[in-house]
């Protein structure tokens, strides 16, 4: 049995989902006077919270001098919280190594893409490739586990904190150079094999040995795309290796307690599926307001949704992390109000914290923890809201949390998220490939994928996010919006599952070595579709070349392919350039789309695909979103106007109204 398989077996046995939604909070006892701890713990329990996360930034206080530990305050905090009735999630403190450790071992620090060392003074100031830091991270994790591994109040563990925050996955240090060369030698075996994979005959880039290879930093033009993607693969593997050490230490010294990590949704710098294979529960940190400001929507849509956020970005990531966690997912940080780190930091509308909490549960989340208990009056996050104001007065989210705590008692216990009829494939290597070779400044695989998800959500269709390795049985329709690097066996597994499949442009367009497939794209997909792509082009948004689908001419998007095919042509390009060329082709099982569609074309295509796969859908829901968990249907209004809900006759409304107000929730049971 491989290490990953063993980790997954262990992970599966360490966590049992609760019967009902559980609530928690992030707390920093070290930031508040001791005399407030008991009062805070009692108020948490009174509010209806079960979990409390602590400790993830505590290293400098636990070990103020090298080898000298001060456990007293942590012992007392855990005891107070546990005796009050709270279950403690203890974080390993490796996201913020102390100053004395950096001064002793400056090789711990990462080097940024500008070539400068990223110094001490905030957090995440370490290089994943540093041998010294790997040892020190293991040492402090082992110390925590020896102290608290069997503690009756420590019920779960979180490794580190937010891998990738502040663009900290990639380091260009000497330690990274060393580790990258070793990784390449293991991957390729010989320098000749690497030269062939990287295409170094181009531009005279040939290497004589692995020792000559540098990380892709400050080159005159773009590096070889294979060089770049291999560096991302290497960096991802370094994160998995770093995290796995902590998991193994915790699992050995604190058996039976689930282990999680809190991912960041927008980060694609490492493979979240691979890292999650070693975890019991996947967690992620939910910040919809920043997600809107930094996200894909137009300025007009951002203005309209200013205080409610992107309707589908949060739900998509709930489904993604439910997939990485193999059905086990928590929210470790739920935004409770304005934050401090986005380009602009608006307040969410009143009611949205409650809505986001129920949205999480509807999408399969078992526990939602709010960040944070009390707003800090000092340091970098003074503008980041909490459940309490700095003077301990309840803020808006406190009251909304209390409402959720009461409402959950109105729902039946034991309702689990079932398999959706539609699966959407999310592949990290394909994201890295499109980032290395975007072939157009406006190309964004993340936005394309989320647009497909939105088109389904607008019609009330539940979606599962899956990886290429996932079991595809039971799905009626599988969507692959941006599957550039397709595994050789994926078409066969798809065919064996019996699902219909729709592929977006660029599917199968790159080999693992980032080359054009020998038989032309779509590479392995040619096992399902008689076609080949002979030309690709990226277009400015003003191009507006039409696509005729059915009897309607739709605007196409910013990507177009010329294809030759023996399959049925389902839509064609119109206009002055190569009119009549196929835009959508297919057969009884698979279809291929040769353009990035406009919103109107995408929705029409997906409605047609749902009918083709015999998946039920509803008329456009506008700003309403539906999600099902077991026999429960949840409705959410992200808009500014009340809307009537499609509640079936005979359904029992458990809470909420048939005419749903803005920022409100209704739940019914059939």
Crossing angle (nearest 10°) for helices 191-198 and 174-188: 100
**Interatomic CA distance for residues 422 and 94, integer angstroms:** 39
Q: Kindly list the distances between the CA atom of residue 509 and the CA atoms of 521, 532, 581, 596, in Å, as whole numbers in the listed order.
A: 5, 10, 19, 15
* One-character DSSP codes across 191-245: HHHHHHHHTTTGGG---SSGGG---S-S-SSPPPHHHHHHHHHHHHHHHHHHHHH
Structure tokens at 590: 């698979």
Query: DSSP letter at 342?
Result: S
**Interatomic CA distance for residues 415 and 21, integer angstroms:** 10
- Catalytic residue (one of 56, 63, 162, 415): 162
Rg over CA atoms, the chain: 25
Q: With b meaning 16 or more CB within 10 Å and e meaning fewer, what string describes 12-37?
A: eebbebeebbbbbbbbbbbebeeeeb
Q: Is 162 a catalytic residue?
A: yes
- Catalytic residue (one of 22, 333, 545, 567): 333
- DSSP-derived 3-state class of residue 480: strand
Name beta bridge partners: 655.
667
User: Is 541 buried (19+), middle (13-18) or exposed (0-12) by CB count in 10 A?
Assistant: exposed
Q: Which residues 6+ apart lie within 8 Å of 386 measured at CB? A: 336, 337, 370, 371, 372, 373, 374, 375, 376, 395, 397
Crossing angle (nearest 10°) for helices 72-83 and 131-148: 50
Q: Kindly list the distances between the CA atom of residue 52 and the CA atoms of 19, 267, 276, 377, 389, in Å, as whole numbers in the listed order.
A: 19, 25, 22, 21, 18
Long-range contacts of 373-379 (CB under 8 A, 24+ apart): 373/25, 373/26, 373/27, 373/28, 373/40, 373/44, 373/52, 374/32, 374/40, 376/28, 376/31
Contact yes or no for 321/281 (Cβ under 8 A): no
Name beta bridge partners: 565.
531
**Interatomic CA distance for residues 370 and 393, integer angstroms:** 16
* Cα of 450 vs its chain's centroid, Å: 12
**Interatomic CA distance for residues 59 and 442, integer angstroms:** 42
Crossing angle (nearest 10°) for helices 225-253 and 174-188: 100
**Interatomic CA distance for residues 654 and 494, integer angstroms:** 39
Q: Kindly list the distances between the CA atom of residue 322 and the CA atoms of 316, 362, 417, 645, in Å, as whole numbers in the listed order.
A: 10, 12, 10, 27
In the structure, how many helices (H) and strands (E) does the chain have?
A: 19, 25
Contact yes or no for 596/505 (Cβ under 8 A): yes
H/E stretch holding 136: helix 131-148
* Cα of 668 vs its chain's centroid, Å: 29
Q: Please measure the distance between the N-terminal and C-terminal CA atoms of the chain and give it in whole angstroms.
A: 44
**Interatomic CA distance for residues 130 and 219, integer angstroms:** 24
Q: Which of 60, 63, 180, 162 is nearest to 111 (CA)?
A: 180
Classify the C-alpha dihedral 313-456-626-645 as positive or negative. positive
For tokens 């904190």, the residue is: 161
**Positions marked catalytic:** 162, 333
């Amino acid at each position: 049995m491989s290490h990953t398989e063993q980790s997954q077996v262990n992970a599966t046995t360490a966590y049992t989902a609760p019967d009902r939604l559980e609530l928690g909070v992030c707390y920093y006892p070290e930031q508040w006077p001791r005399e407030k701890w008991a009062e805070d713990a009692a108020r948490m329990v009174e509010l209806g919270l079960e979990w409390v996360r602590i400790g993830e930034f505590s290293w400098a206080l636990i070990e103020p001098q090298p080898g000298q530990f001060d456990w007293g305050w942590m012992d007392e905090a855990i005891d107070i919280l546990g005796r009050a009735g709270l279950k403690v999630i203890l974080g390993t403190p490796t996201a913020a190594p102390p100053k004395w450790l950096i001064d002793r071992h400056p090789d711990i620090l990462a080097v940024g893409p500008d070539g400068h060392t990223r110094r001490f003074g905030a957090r995440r100031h370490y290089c994943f490739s540093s041998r010294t830091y790997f040892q020190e991270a293991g040492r402090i994790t082992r110390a925590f586990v020896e102290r608290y591994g069997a503690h009756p109040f420590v019920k779960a563990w979180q490794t580190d904190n937010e891998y990738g925050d502040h663009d900290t996955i990639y380091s260009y240090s000497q330690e990274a150079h060393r580790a990258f060369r070793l990784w390449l030698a293991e991957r390729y075996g010989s320098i000749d094999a690497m030269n062939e994979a990287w295409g170094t005959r181009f531009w005279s880039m040939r290497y004589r040995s692995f020792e000559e290879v540098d990380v892709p930093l400050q080159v005159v033009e773009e590096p070889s795309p294979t060089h770049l993607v291999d560096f991302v693969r290497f960096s991802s593997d370094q994160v998995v290796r770093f995290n796995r050490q902590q998991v193994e230490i915790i699992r050995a010294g604190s058996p039976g307690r689930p282990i999680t990590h809190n991912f960041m949704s927008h980060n694609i710098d490492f493979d979240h599926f691979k890292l999650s294979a070693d975890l019991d529960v996947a967690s992620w940190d939910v910040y919809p307001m920043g997600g809107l400001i930094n996200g894909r929507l137009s300025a007009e849509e951002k203005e309209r949704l200013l205080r409610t956020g992107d309707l589908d970005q949060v739900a998509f990531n709930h489904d993604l992390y439910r997939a990485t966690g193999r059905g086990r997912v928590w929210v470790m940080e739920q935004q409770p109000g304005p934050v401090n780190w986005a380009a602009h930091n608006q307040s969410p509308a009143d009611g949205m914290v409650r809505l986001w909490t129920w949205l999480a549960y509807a999408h399969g989340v078992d526990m939602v923890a709010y960040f944070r208990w009390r707003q800090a009056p000092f340091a970098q996050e003074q503008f980041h809201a909490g459940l309490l104001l700095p003077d301990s007065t309840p803020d808006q989210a406190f009251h909304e949390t209390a409402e959720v705590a009461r409402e959950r008692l109105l729902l039946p216990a034991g309702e689990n998220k079932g398999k959706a009829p539609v699966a959407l494939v999310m592949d990290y290597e394909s994201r890295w490939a499109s980032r290395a070779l975007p072939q157009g400044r406006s190309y964004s695989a993340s936005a394309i994928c989320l647009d497909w998800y939105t088109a389904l959500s607008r019609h009330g269709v539940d979606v599962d996010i899956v990886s290429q390795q996932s079991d595809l049985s039971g799905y009626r329709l599988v969507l692959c919006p941006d599957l550039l690097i397709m595994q050789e066996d994926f078409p066969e597994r798809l065919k064996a599952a019996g699902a219909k499949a729709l592929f977006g442009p660029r599917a199968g367009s790159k080999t693992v070595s980032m080359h054009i497939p020998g038989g032309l794209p779509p590479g392995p997909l040619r096992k399902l579709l008689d076609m080949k792509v002979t030309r690709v082009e990226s277009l400015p948004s003003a191009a507006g070349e039409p696509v005729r689908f059915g009897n309607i001419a739709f605007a196409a998007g910013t990507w177009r392919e010329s294809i030759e095919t023996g399959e049925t042509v389902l839509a064609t390009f119109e206009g002055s350039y190569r009119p009549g060329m196929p835009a959508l082709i297919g057969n009884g099982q698979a279809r291929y789309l040769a353009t990035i569609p406009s919103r109107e074309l995408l929705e029409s295509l997906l409605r047609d695909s749902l009918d083709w796969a015999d998946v039920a859908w509803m008329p456009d829901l506008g700003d309403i979103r539906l999600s099902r968990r077991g026999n429960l249907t949840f409705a959410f209004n992200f808009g500014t106007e009340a809307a009537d809900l499609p509640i079936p006759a005979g359904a029992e409304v458990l809470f909420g109204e048939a005419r749903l107000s803005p920022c409100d929730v209704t739940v019914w049971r059939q």
